[in-house]
Every structure is written in structure tokens, then in C-alpha cells.
Amino acid sequence: MDRRQKKTRDAIFKAFGHLLEGKKYEHITVQEIIDEADIGRSTFYAHFETKDTLLKEMCSDIFDHIFSDKICEYSAEKNDLETKLAHILWHLQNNNFNIYGLLSSQSGDLFLQYLKEQLAILFKMYLSDFHTDTPEDFLLYHLIGSFAEAIKWWVNNKMQHSPEQIAKYFMAVTETH
């Protein structure tokens, strides 16, 4: 990829992330992103059609990486759910993007929405670990909602707890008998 393109793209992402810490997504204008990134007007539109496209691509860049099963610094031999979740949380803590800023922003729920899509895929594989008298779909929603809120709690507490601790808490409240 052309060095110029990457530089511009990064500048836009950085500016966007920075602005998100200050105000809600919907109140951020393309003009502000352009000014903050210090790029030409037409350059922005050469990269992204709309603000929504920008958001979507940014989420992809962030979450696709986290959920990809690439080898990473956080090595885990075990393959159980708790370990996987801790792995994901570890990625949220150690990342190139400033995810903490994004998740703790007024638009944090926006990012969680994208995250939930990925969580759905993951939890589907572990549904049989849980036993309830509810439709499978209902259980899936339950797990996703609970884990998303666990992340929110974690972030609201400044991510002071370890990923392993949060994963343990989650397993505790979702435990079935």
C-alpha cells in the first residue's frame, strides 16, 4: 500500500479516535475529522464515502484482528471458553488503537455493537457448555449481553482488573447447573 495512503488513513483514524473521546459519534462532523487530521477535504472522500463507512472500517480493523486466530503474544494452550474470553479481553487492553478511549467514550455502545457481532460467532461454539430450559437463541443473547456488560463494567473501573479476573467473574454469573 502506498505510503501516502497509509499515512492519511492513520491520520484519519487517529483524529476520529481523538474526537470520539470528546463528543458523541453523531455530533462529530466530517469537517472536524478533516481539520483534526489536517488533510484536504477531497482526500477524506477519496478514502471514505461517509462517516459511517469510516466507523465500520475502523471497527473491522480493530475487531477482525482481535478475533482472528493468529499467533499472538498472548499464548494460550487451553481452548476452553474462559481462556478464549480472557484472550479477547487481553487484546482489548493491549492494542494499537486506543480502545480504552473508544469504549469509555460516550459512543462506547457503538463499538460494543460491532463487538457483539463477533461474540455471537464465538459463543455459538460453546452453547452446549450451558444447560437451561430456554431456546438456544435466547441463551446466546443472554451470554452476549452479559459479556458486553462485563466489558463495560471493566472499562468503567478503568480496566484495573486482569483479563483473567473478568473472565472468571463472567463464568461465575453465567454458570448453569
Interface ranges with DNA (CB under 7 A): 2-5, 7-9, 29-32, 38-43, 45-47, 49-51
SS3 call for 38: coil
What sign does the dihedral 127-84-163-18 (CA atoms) show? Answer: negative
Q: Return the one option of DNA, its own copies, none that residue 113 interacts with (CB less than 5 to 8 A, by type).
A: its own copies
Amino acid at 174: T
> In the complex, what is the shortest distance from the CB of residue 14 to DNA, in angstroms, rounded to a whole number?
14
What b/e sequence results for 62-77 when a residue is b if at least 16 CB atoms lie within 10 Å of its CB, and e otherwise? bbeebbeeeeeeeeee
End-to-end Cα spacing for the chain: 52
The contact set with its own copies (CB under 8 A) reads: 25-26, 109, 113, 132-135, 137-139, 141-142, 144-150, 152-153, 169-170, 172-177
* Cα(25)–Cα(91) distance, integer angstroms: 23
> In the complex, what is the shortest distance from the CB of residue 19 to DNA, in angstroms, rounded to a whole number?
12
Segment (H or E) for 103: helix 99-104
Residue 57 burial (C-beta neighbours within 10 Å; 0-12, 13-18, 19+): middle
> In the complex, what is the shortest distance from the CB of residue 119 to DNA, in angstroms, rounded to a whole number?
30
Nearer to its own copies, 45 or 138 (CB): 138
Nearer to its own copies, 72 or 171 (CB): 171
Q: Return the one option of DNA, its own copies, none that residue 144 interacts with (CB less than 5 to 8 A, by type).
A: its own copies
> In the complex, what is the shortest distance from the CB of residue 75 to its own copies, in angstroms, rounded to a whole number?
27
> In the complex, what is the shortest distance from the CB of residue 25 to its own copies, in angstroms, rounded to a whole number?
7
Nearer to its own copies, 96 or 134 (CB): 134
Nearer to DNA, 8 or 105 (CB): 8
* Cα(60)–Cα(17) distance, integer angstroms: 14
